[in-house]
Amino acid sequence: MTEVTQQPGNDATANRPSRDTADIRPFQVHYPDSALTDLRRRINATKWPGREPVTDPSQGVQLDTIRELARYWATDHDWRKCEAKLNALPQFMTEIDGLDIHFIHVRSKHEDALPLIVTHGWPGSVIEQLKIVDPLTNPTAHGASASDAFHLVIPSLPGYGFSGKPTTTGWGPDRIARAWVELMKRLGYTRFAAQGGDWGAMVADVMGTQAPPELLGIHLNWPFTIPPDIDKAVQTGTALPSDLSADERRACEQLDFFYKHELGYALEMASRPQTLYGIEDSPVGLAAWLIDHDARSYALIARVFGGQTEGLTRDDVLDNITLYWLTSTAVSSGRIYWENKRYTFFAPKHVAIPVAVSAFPDEVVQTPRSWAERAYPKLIHYGKLDKGGHFAAWEQPQLFSEEVRAGLRPLRGALGQQGSQPTVH
């Protein structure tokens, strides 16, 4: 197998040797100093707008926040540390359905571990999952039992990170879901589970609707549970049912806030992703676009760059943004919104296999248990957390790992024999 090193501006599928499409090749990342020098030059050359005429984030990312982010990015952030973290893990490339897919594959030392594919979303990347690798693959080092171990596969979505950028249409959640099953089977896993948040949750949920025989169940930290009548009432401003519980009413308030104040980025990428040339060309423009995903995540990030200590650090945030910059995936990552023609994002999708749900309070919507039970008839776990938000694995890795262990524990009895030993890559 040929070692692959990603270089700036190169599509991951370009200039590769001829090979069998089932090949799995080791992958390492290293960008030349010139790419990092150019990044700092562009940050320092930013043309700044005037200060917002309000004292809150109601007009978007505030000038003080983004200027401090840019200062730290240009002077203190060390991308080489992030490269070292990535390269310390086993990374690979494989071609599926004509597209190169990058993935991290960490096998537990516990051979009866449950295979699990974990998928990030937008505006995230595999960097979101780095903190959960050891807790999930090596649970005995984190106060948990060996019986809770996982073999982890963490892929980069098409158009994200080091995966290839599709040059034709059609890479929506359903195609990605089928590709993930192929990836797991290619690694030798004949029975496995799937986990995801944001678009990763959509992919896992669609895997659940497709229900391939290899898939034992799924765990979601962004579940798809909002009843259609509730969704319609919130969007149109008509009366909600009078018998809503306190949790259901709070979820409706969160959904209403999202529709009124946070949906803009999704609408733009769903309709005109190619128009976003500015964020492909400006590091600071890209940073502002990526951190303005939802109000509670932005508030956390603003506090971090305001000097407070939170679940995320400045380097966490900038590692992720720098990955988008160096891989030139600002536009390609947004196309999944355009590709998603089939699935309403919040609506239940009739998943009939076992599902575990973890509801974090600062997610866009904290799913009530009642909605989760209605959406997922085979709900095997519901965890209502008191801390954590949209980037749960990244922000609260201990809580997240505990939830994944608890949520998927009922599947282990159904794991049985793998049938064949997984291929070790």
Residue 68 CB neighbours (<10 A): 17
For residue 19 the two structure tokens come to 């090979």
Is 75 in the same domain as 114? no
Order across the sheet with 215-220: list the strands.
4-6, 24-29, 91-96, 99-106, 150-155, 114-119, 192-196, 215-220, 355-359, 379-384
Q: What is the pLDDT of residue 417?
A: 44
CA distances 159 to 15, 182, 254, Å, are 17, 18, 30
Q: What is the pLDDT of residue 416?
A: 63
| Domain that includes residue 146, residue range | 4-27+81-225+345-415
Residue type at 26?
A: P
> Residues in the chain with pLDDT < 70?
1-21, 416-425
Is 197 in the same domain as 277? no
Is 349 in the same domain as 333? no
Q: What is the pLDDT of residue 423?
A: 57
Is 329 in the same domain as 358? no
Residue 303 CB neighbours (<10 A): 14
The pairing of strands 114-119 and 99-106 is: unpaired
pTM over 0.85: yes
Q: What is the pLDDT of residue 13?
A: 34
Which residues are annotated as catalytic? 198, 337, 390
Is 89 in the same domain as 167? yes
Strands (E), 165-213: 192-196
Is the separation of the CB atoms in 297 and 362 below 8 Å?
yes
Q: What is the pLDDT of residue 289?
A: 98
Does residue 249 sit within a domain? no
Does residue 62 sit within a domain? yes
List pLDDT tens digits, range 366-396: 999 999 999 999 999 999 999 999 999 999 9
Is the separation of the CB atoms in 114 and 136 below 8 Å?
no
Q: What is the pLDDT of residue 424?
A: 54
Is the separation of the CB atoms in 220 and 360 below 8 Å?
no
Structurally, the chain folds into a number of domains equal to 2
Does residue 248 sit within a domain? no
Does residue 245 sit within a domain? no
| Residue where a domain terminates, one of 282, 314, 337 | 337
Is 116 in the same domain as 183? yes
Does residue 358 sit within a domain? yes
| Residue where a domain terminates, one of 300, 315, 337 | 337
Is 55 in the same domain as 122? no
Is 328 in the same domain as 393? no
Q: What is the pLDDT of residue 116?
A: 98
Give the SS3 label for residue 155: strand
Is 158 in the same domain as 277? no
List Cβ neighbours of 84 (8 Å cut-off, separation of 6 or more): none
Q: What is the Cα–Cα distance from 142 to 134, expressed in whole angstroms?
A: 8
Of 337, 332, 351, which is closest to residue 172 (Cα–Cα)?
337
- Termini Cα distance of the chain: 11
| Residue where a domain terminates, one of 337, 358, 393 | 337
- The CATH number assigned to the domain holding 9 equals 3.40.50.1820
Is 94 in the same domain as 210? yes
Does residue 422 sit within a domain? no
Does residue 230 sit within a domain? no
**3-state helix/strand/coil string of 14-32:** CCCCCCCCCCEEEEEECCC
Q: Output the DSSP codes for 379-412.
A: EEEEEE-SS-BTTHHHH-HHHHHHHHHHHHGGGH
Is 216 in the same domain as 290? no
Does residue 275 sit within a domain? yes
Q: What is the pLDDT of residue 378?
A: 98
Is 74 in the same domain as 54? yes
Q: What is the pLDDT of residue 425?
A: 64
